[in-house]
Structure 1
Amino acid sequence: MLELLNISKQWVPPTGAPKALLRGATVSVSAGETVALLGPSGSGKSTLLRIAAGLEQADAGMVRMDGADISATPPERRGFALMFQDFALFPHLNVQDNVAFGLVEQRIPKAAARDQARAMLARFGLSAYALSKVWQLSGGEQQRVALARALITRPRALLLDEPFSALDADLRLQLREEFKAHIAEHRMATLWVTHDESEARAMAARGYRLLEGTLLRIW
């Protein structure tokens, strides 16, 4: 279980007074469960995700995984996968090596990692692009590569920020079902940040809205 407990965070603008971005936000996500976070732009949703990932430190509060405090654990040692809106793909690597990257970091032999990457790309309809550079792909194709890379390591927790935003409606529906199956099969605790409430309700067992730094359960 992933737990974010009483997370507080101030945003300090270049000029002016600090602003409370998160005020004691608390949410838990069980293995195999998806929880959605909704809220307007700038409400702190992505900041909460970054704190869960270890990319930012909270001013107060704790991040726990399976009962252990991981607040001070570096991101690379948390066993989480995260995907943000800018995709963060490596421009010098081809598509299959972008997807295989996390496996290689886990010391899986490169040939085996590439085999797994090609199998994952096939599930996302990207087999034809395995040897292409990521900058040759459309925005939607790059997003699918980022999703494949996030899933391939079978992380303990999956942190997603608007993961389907660049995809067309048919592919969004297809990937919803793919994600549901994958999350359940590998029992990943999943935090899903989105502006789309209908998508959130289709994907998540529980949903919270972040307003003025406070998480409010909406279903």
Structure 2
Amino acid sequence: MLELRDIHLRWDRRPLLDGVNLRVDAGHTVALLGPSGSGKSTLLKIVAGIETPERGSVWFDGEDITRTPPHRRGFALMFQDFALFPHLDVRDNVAFGLVEQRVPRREARERAQALLTRFGLGAHAQARVWTLSGGEQQRVALARALITQPRALLLDEPFSALDAALREQLRAEFRDRIAEAGMAAILVTHDEAEARAMAQQGWGLHEGKLRSLW
């Protein structure tokens, strides 16, 4: 279980996050909605450990991880630009996190191939990522995020660069994969339809405070 407790942060001398509390259970997705500049992405960065709150704490499974560096939290982040490596093929993009964890390259590639096959991308394993469609690239990004079995998945506008039909297809796919993996997930989006399709709970962030939407 992921928890934010009384998170405070100011920006340009005004409260950006003003006593934010949030709980995300394993296997569940919580959506954060709000206008640009409301602090949604900043809150996600605090969860990831990229930013530090002025006050408050981040907890995971009963442990205070507020001061734990990002690489030791075991969380995976996905952004709207996919952040795939153009110089690596699809399989090595997915295997990258395992190699960083010192898994032997051959084993990492075998595990990446198996996951790509589950995602319907096995035939593209040795293709360059820039030859794939937007939806295929997003699936590669999800496979790369999931292969290390992260404790939580943090999604920042992951589908905003895709067309409407593809967004709808991927929403259901991501929701099912997150539940299957049993991880806590936070989705930052401005699209309420997307949030309702993927998340069990929705929260609006306005003037530094969260209010329940459903």
Give TM-score, length-normalised by structure 1.
0.89
Q: C-alpha separation between the residues in 2 aligned to 1:213 and 1:139?
A: 34
Stretches of structure 2 that go unaligned for 5 or more consecutive residues are: none
- Taking the aligned partners of 2:163 and 2:63, their CA distance within structure 1 comes to 39
SS of the residue corresponding to residue 190 of structure 2 reads coil
Please give the secondary structure, in 2, of the residue aligned with 1:131: coil
Tell me the distance in 2 between the aligned counterparts of 1:122 and 1:46. 32
In structure 2, the partner of 1:36 is 31
Q: Deviations over 1:77-117 (max 9, x none)?
A: 11111112232222332221111111222222212211222
1:199 is aligned, of 194, 197, 206, to 194
Show the 5 A alignment for 1:99-114.
99-114=94-109
Shift of the alpha carbon at 1:213? 1.2
Distance in 1 between residues matched to 2:114 and 2:154, nearest whole Å = 22
- Shift in Å at residue 68 of structure 1? 0.5
Q: Identity percentage over the alignment?
A: 68
User: Once superposed, what is the RMSD of the aligned Cα atoms?
Assistant: 1.9
Amino acid at match of 2:2: L
**Post-superposition shift, 1:198?**
1.2
- 2:40 is the alignment partner of 1:45: yes
Quick check: 2:80–2:159 contact (8 Å CA) kept in 1? no
Give 1:38-117 correspondences, 5 Å limit. Answer: 38-117=33-112
Deviations 1:5-63 (A, max 9, x none): 11111224xxxxx2321111110101111111001111111110011001111111100
Alignment correspondent of 1:216 = 211
Residue identity opposite 1:73 in structure 2: T
Contact in 2 for aligned 1:96/1:130 (Cα 8 Å): yes
In structure 2, how many angstroms separate the alpha carbons of the residues matched to 1:134 and 1:55? 27
Question: Greater CA deviation, 170-179 or 189-198?
Answer: 170-179
| Aligned residue pair count | 214
3-state DSSP of counterpart to 1:32:
coil
Q: What residue in structure 1 maps to residue 7 of structure 2?
A: 7
Which is worse superposed, 116-125 or 50-59?
116-125
Amino acid at match of 1:190: A
Contact 2:189 2:195 in 1 (8 A): yes
- What TM-score do the two structures reach when normalised by structure 2? 0.90
For 1:183, the equivalent position in structure 2 comes to 178
Unaligned runs of 5+ in 1: 13-17
In structure 2, how many angstroms separate the alpha carbons of the residues matched to 1:143 and 1:177?
13
Q: CA deviation at 1:138?
A: 4.7
Could you tell me how far apart the structure 2 residues matched to 1:145 and 1:133 are? 11
Distance 1:94 1:19 in 2: 45
Specify the code of the residue in structure 1 equivalent to 2:10: Q
Q: Which residue of 2 aligns with 1:15?
A: none
Relative to structure 1, is the Cα distance of residues 170 and 111 closer, same or farther in structure 2, using a 3 angstrom cutoff?
A: farther
Match of 1:126 in 2: 121
How much does 1:120 deviate?
2.6
> Does the residue aligned with 1:174 lie in a helix, a strand or coil?
helix
Asked whether the 8 Å contact 1:143–1:166 carries over to 2, the reply is: no
Contact 2:8/2:18 (CA < 8 Å) preserved in 1?
Answer: yes
Task: Supply the AA of the counterpart residue of 1:95.
Answer: V
What letter corresponds to residue 102 of structure 1 in structure 2? G
